[in-house]
Chain A
């Protein structure tokens, strides 16, 4: 845990980010915690609910500033989510914050029944998601959460890609009348280029970050930056690759998916998730049921015993990098 994290990007990818003028932001987790505190100072219905997770959730300052708006339940995720549901049913706006690996597995039944089925406006926040805790092993990976939650009715699934998307997502979640799942990691993230056309962040709205019709990469969460860099690398070879950030796995921006399928020569979906049941399969289903045939692949983690190491190591191993995603595009175009 204490070893310094290896860089997320190769030297070539770092150089590319510099050429694109992309600045390094903070961890989305930190953007979440700061935004939640700012919102909660104004709206006293907002509560942070933690399962011995205020440290890992960067909510220490929240607890100090607003002690009546934080509830600690101890290491008890079922109770965490049940309590959040009860708070939400009584007019509070709880953000139940716990590592994604636990809050979408140990307490999945509470998410399904107490929050989604009862339809209370609680927010489930999966921190250190995907393989953020890569070296800690599969107990601490959440590569199932999109799949599990996509099969449960009535919860938005939101994986912001950078600090700006995170801030916007937290604000929308705080105002949402229905359940929301927020999911992000703990590594510092690059700030993404602005959305083409200035499209505002909204649930169900994809954000095009780079134009192109030779191919498209539809990406969500912390893979989006790698897609942007891959597109820039491909541009140097004359391949124009669209990049679309898909922060909401549900509601899915079907128009953006279908546009990529219709207009681009190949579609790659990138996600920090198992290949089963995530954004990739959501896009594949939509394309197929819309009778759109396009070279297609999912860049994600395989249905296999996941390698361990840092998030960066695991991304490199499975090709969720500038180099890896560019190669997936080339492969589809060959």
Chain B
């Protein structure tokens, strides 16, 4: 189901706007996980505008799709996307991380549209196995998605869940890895390598798709093409941490760096240029 009448071209604009608004929220709050929010914007864009049957209108339906953001630290991006989906007014996010604001630094069910409280890593996939089992046992076609960080995959609970998902033949479950290859200490490969991720998930019994995590069409296909019956799907989305802001891309310090006023102005300039380029591409 596509809730929005967005064209594929409009979808490209959404990614630019989501990045701009995410950075604005982080600057306003003076805190945030900048790089990892920017790396997963295109994934969230495709999920919420093309794939997920999750809307404010169907939120109380037991058979809605489910999305659990296991890499909870990238919540700023999710808040922006949920506002755009109509779960709450965009200006609510201006309270991000302020005293008693529900818009805290990790997903919380106090915010409309958030499925589960996350933030400690390694929790989303087991929860989603439970959600997928519930749908499977009830015989309805809800799909369950989780977004994992690649650094997060060092948490052993992910692999417990990966094993169980394959064992229980949860083909309604898709785990997306935001494969930006950086974590707070350095390159994931250097910190404690978990590569090759594709072979690992395949060995655990998953159908693995590795795609460019900034290619909206490729992401949509990866999320919607039917996989083998009875096999959960892992989408390894190759992304760039800090994507969309030239001086942040692939630079470690932007893991949770907050841009200065000057840096933010530069970033805004890049977003404006990207939007102008989008306009002139018509």
Contacts and interface: CB of A to CB of B under 8 A. Distances in A.
B66 A90 contact: yes
B119 interface: yes
Interface residues of A, number: 29
Most chain-A CB neighbours within 10 Å: which of B127, B130, B133, B135? B130
B109 A82 contact: no
Size band of the interface chain B makes with A = 20 to 34
A241 interface: no
Interface in B98-137: 109, 115-120, 122-123, 125-135, 137
A135 interface: no
Contact of A89 (B120, B127, B164): B127
B80 interface: no
Given A79-B126, A82-B127, A119-B109, A89 B160 contact: no
Interface stretch (A16-24, A68-76, A231-239, A325-333): A68-76
A83 B137 CA distance: 14
A81 B125 CA distance: 12
A78 interface: yes
A86 B137 contact: no
A79 B156 CA distance: 10
A79 B123 contact: no
Most chain-B CB neighbours within 10 Å: which of A71, A109, A118? A118
Given A79-B164, A84-B130, A91-B62, A68 B137 contact: yes
A118 B116 contact: yes
Contacts of B115: 89
B117 A78 contact: no
A89 B107 CA distance: 15
Nearest to B161: A79
Nearest to B139: A68
Contacts of B153: none
A240 to B, nearest CB: 50
Contacts of B120: 109, 113
B163 interface: yes
B116 A89 contact: yes
A85 interface: yes
A86 B160 contact: no
B138 to A, nearest CB: 8
A35 to B, nearest CB: 22
B55 interface: no
A313 interface: no
Contacts of B94: none
A66 to B, nearest CB: 11
A87 interface: yes
Interface in A50-104: 68-69, 71, 73-74, 76, 78-79, 81-92, 94
B163 A83 contact: no
B157 interface: yes
Nearest to B128: A86
Contacts of B137: 47, 68-69
Interface in A2-49: 47
Interface string B210-228: 0000000000000000000
Given A85-B116, A90-B66, A74 B163 contact: yes
Nearest to A118: B117
Contact of A73 (B66, B156, B160): B160
Contact of B135 (A47, A76, A88, A90): A90
Contact of A87 (B119, B122, B134): B134
A311 interface: no
A43 to B, nearest CB: 14
Contacts of A81: 126
A91 B127 CA distance: 13
Contacts of A68: 137
A68 B115 CA distance: 25
B27 to A, nearest CB: 28
A321 interface: no
A85 B66 CA distance: 13
A78 B133 CA distance: 16
Contacts of A117: 117
A127 to B, nearest CB: 20
Contact of A114 (B66, B127, B132): B127
A100 to B, nearest CB: 20
A114 B117 CA distance: 7
B127 A86 contact: yes
B75 to A, nearest CB: 15
A166 interface: no
Most chain-B CB neighbours within 10 Å: which of A86, A113, A119? A86
Contact of A85 (B130, B135, B164): B130
A248 interface: no
Contacts of A85: 116, 126-127, 130
Contact of A76 (B66, B131, B132, B160): B160
Contacts of A91: 62, 134
8 contacts: A68-B137, A73-B164, A79-B161, A82-B127, A87-B133, A91-B62, A110-B123, A113-B123
Interface of B: 62, 66, 109, 115-120, 122-123, 125-135, 137, 156-157, 160-161, 163-164, 167-168
Given A83-B127, A118-B109, 11 more contacts: A74-B163, A79-B157, A79-B164, A87-B131, A90-B134, A90-B135, A109-B123, A113-B120, A114-B116, A114-B117, A114-B126
